[in-house]
């Protein structure tokens, strides 16, 4: 009985440590370079979380954009999920969705410091999206349909 318990505990801890290690978790300094790339690509940076229903709804559109414009666009999905829910919510969600876009996780509690650095107009509600290239950038405090997103991204090409 005890052996089974121990076995269970050990296997649980192995599974779960390695699972969390699959996530790329950063503080704001760690994600900042995703907000200011300077090459010829268009960057589409979306802030979301599994607990945010409108975010989850539009995630497939972002992933579709990544697939449709593979050469010219880089989609970065920045999750704001709680660390306590990485294991229970975020990892299962990502495993189920199999997104092709880059997914990183932002864990930085000092939100009043980093939110204005992303955009001075952002009050902290999600979803929000930043689209930029080396010449221009625009902040979108809104949800997107696929068509809306695609037409915005096209404005940044050429």
Partner 1 sequence: MNKLKLLLFTVLLATAISAQNGYDIGALAADFNLENIDGSFVSLSDFNESKGFIVVFTCNTCPYAVAYEDRIEALNKKYAKKGYPVIAIMPNNTEIKPGDSLDAMKKRANKKGFTFPYLIDREQAVFPQYGATKTPHVYVLQKNNEMHIVRYIGAIDDNYKDADKVVLKYVEDAVDALLMNRQVPVSKTRAIGCSIKI
Question: Is residue 112 involved in binding partner 1 (CB under 8 A)?
Answer: yes
Q: Tokens 């997107």 map to which residue?
A: 144
CA 95/CA 92 separation, integer angstroms: 5
Closest to 29 (Cα-Cα) out of 126, 102, 114:
114
Q: Which of 33, 116, 136, 157 binds partner 1 (CB under 8 A)?
A: 116
Among residues 83, 100, 136, 151, the one that binds partner 1 under rule CB under 8 A:
83
Please, what is the Cα angle at 39 between 148 and 56, to 5 degrees? 35
CB-nearer residue toward partner 1: 89 or 102: 89
3 state SS of 79: strand
Q: Tell the smallest beta-carbon distance from residue 107 to partner 1 (Å).
A: 8
Instruction: Specify the stretch interacting with partner 1 by CB under 8 A; choose among 36-44, 49-57, 132-140, 149-157.
Output: 49-57
- Rounded to whole angstroms, the Cα distance separating 26 from 11 reads 27
Given 26, 28, 34, 51, the residue binding partner 1 (CB under 8 A): 51
- Judged by CB under 8 A, which stretch of 11-19, 22-30, 34-42, 79-87 contacts partner 1? 79-87
Cα–Cα distance for residue pair 70/41, rounded to 1 Å? 10
Q: What is the largest CA-CA distance in the chain?
A: 66
Instruction: Point out which residues bind partner 1 (CB under 8 A).
Output: 51-52, 54, 80, 82-83, 85, 109-112, 115-116, 122-127
């Amino acid at each position: 009985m005890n052996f089974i318990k121990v076995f269970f505990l050990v296997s649980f801890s192995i599974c779960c440590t390695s699972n969390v290690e699959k996530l790329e978790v950063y503080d704001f300094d760690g994600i900042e370079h995703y907000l200011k790339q300077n090459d010829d690509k268009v960057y589409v940076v979306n802030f979301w979380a599994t607990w945010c229903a409108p975010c989850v709804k539009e995630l497939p559109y972002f992933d579709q954009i990544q697939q449709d414009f593979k050469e010219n666009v880089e989609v970065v999905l920045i999750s704001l999920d709680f660390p306590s829910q990485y294991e229970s919510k975020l990892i299962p969600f990502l495993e189920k969705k199999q997104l092709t876009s880059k997914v990183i996780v932002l864990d930085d509690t000092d939100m009043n410091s980093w939110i204005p650095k992303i955009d001075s107009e952002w009050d902290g509600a999600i979803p929000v999206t930043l689209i930029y290239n080396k010449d221009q950038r625009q902040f979108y405090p809104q949800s997107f349909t696929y068509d809306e997103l695609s037409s915005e991204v096209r404005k940044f090409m050429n």
